Amino acid sequence: MTLRSLKVGGLVPMTTVDYPGCLSAVIFCQGCPLRCRYCHNSDLLPREAETVIPWREILDFLKRRQGLLDAVVFSGGEPTQQRALPDAIAEVSAMGFKIGLHTAGIYPKRLQAILPSLDWVGLDIKALPEKYESLTGMPGSGDLAWQSAQILLESGIPYELRTTLHPALTSHNEKARIEEAIATFGESQHVWQVCRTDHCLDPNLRSS
């Protein structure tokens, strides 16, 4: 048990889609400094929440899944916002699980520090750097995310860059420019994801 426990806002006990090729559990870390207009996880955004699942319960759950699951994915929220993440990763890794991370990459130094502990990373590239602030509400978030992408690709760790498309936010022209910018990394693993529009943080983006 770590002194400073990871704050967990949710858990998916078993999934085949959150870590390519692996049967995994997903731990949703509480808290995110961004406020992406299309975010559909608004309950996970505050650092503090009443719905937090005690870390001890997460470890007990994972003990019962040893040999049944291949991997554990730390998702969010933004997992790297929490200082307790490296210790949590170490505990879960010691149980024999592969470690996956979903991140928006806004803490490149923290990402770089934990990369050796990770087996796979899904990194959001949300927009061109200059468009980030209007999407996330955080000045400088674009440069940080693209910096993280560079670090991740240089690390050689298996990864996927993911860009979520909302029709009201990303024009055809911008989509092409994002593709061009990602191509400057060389051959890279990049996917487009269709935005869920039912619970967007920005009510103007909701479909219903």
Contacts of residue 181, defined as CB under 8 A and 6 or more positions apart, other chains included, come to 128, 146
Residue 200 interacting with ligand SF4 (CB under 6 A): no
Cis status, amide bond into 10, omega within 30 of 0 = no
Residue 144 interacting with ligand SF4 (CB under 6 A): no
Residue 142 interacting with ligand SF4 (CB under 6 A): no
Give CA angle at 164 (163, 165), nearest 5°.
Answer: 115
Q: How far is the CB of 37 from ligand SF4 (least distance, A)?
A: 9
Q: How far is the CB of 35 from ligand SF4 (least distance, A)?
A: 6
Nearer to ligand SF4, 9 or 69 (CB): 9
Nearest alpha carbon to residue 10 among 91, 94, 77, 87? 77
Q: Which of the ranges 3-11, 41-49, 53-61, 110-118 carries the binding residues for ligand SF4, by CB under 6 A?
A: 41-49
Q: How far is the CB of 205 from ligand SF4 (least distance, A)?
A: 12
Residues 68-127 that bind ligand SF4 (CB under 6 A): 76-78, 104
Contacts of residue 116, defined as CB under 8 A and 6 or more positions apart, other chains included, come to none
27-30 — which CB contacts under 8 Å span 24+ positions? Answer: 27/58, 27/72, 27/73, 27/74, 27/75, 28/75, 28/76, 28/77, 29/74, 29/75, 29/76, 29/77, 29/78, 29/79, 29/81, 29/82, 29/85, 30/76, 30/77, 30/82
Q: How far is the CB of 203 from ligand SF4 (least distance, A)?
A: 15
Q: How far is the CB of 44 from ligand SF4 (least distance, A)?
A: 6
Residue 32 interacting with ligand SF4 (CB under 6 A): yes
Residue 36 interacting with ligand SF4 (CB under 6 A): yes
Nearer to ligand SF4, 66 or 193 (CB): 193
Q: How far is the CB of 196 from ligand SF4 (least distance, A)?
A: 10
Residues at the contact surface with ligand SF4, assessed by CB under 6 A: 32, 34-36, 39, 41, 44-45, 76-78, 104
